[in-house]
Amino acid sequence: MKKIRVIARALARAGEEDRLRKALVAMLKPTRAERGCRLYELYESNNNRGLFYFYEEWDDQDALDRHTETPHYKQLAQSVRDLLEGAFEVNVLDSLG
């Protein structure tokens, strides 16, 4: 089984930093309770407030796929559209060593 690592990036529109932060923080508890979630952490840039990163580790691709089908994931995808500057970027990572 190949562990999956993800970095997701979200940049708040000017003036929407607090609303986006609240929506992203709300993802922590339900996602951490999902089967197959090894690690799910949220960070905010120190030098660019409103720039958020999730660092995620999943047991396998199936676990990540199940995550994207959860009600809380789908609700977040809908609710943050107007809060973002640009797209919500999700990057699945390959280890280079």
**56 CB contacts (<8 Å, ≥6 apart)?**
4, 5, 6, 7, 8, 37, 39, 40, 41, 64
Joined tokens for residue 68: 């994207």
What is the dihedral sign for C-alpha 72, 75, 79, 81? positive
Percent of the chain surpassing pLDDT 70:
99
Amino acid, single-letter form, for residue 38:
R
- The pLDDT score that the predictor gives to residue 1 is 65
- Please tell me the distance from the alpha carbon of residue 10 to that of residue 34, in angstroms, as a whole number: 22
pTM score = 0.92
CATH number of 4-93: 3.30.70.100
Given this model, what pLDDT does residue 41 score? 98
Residue 97: what pLDDT? Answer: 80
Residue 58 has what pLDDT? 98
What's the average model confidence in pLDDT over 31-49?
97
- Model confidence over 73-89: pLDDT tens digits? 999 999 999 999 999 99
Asked if pLDDT for residue 45 goes beyond 70, the answer is: yes
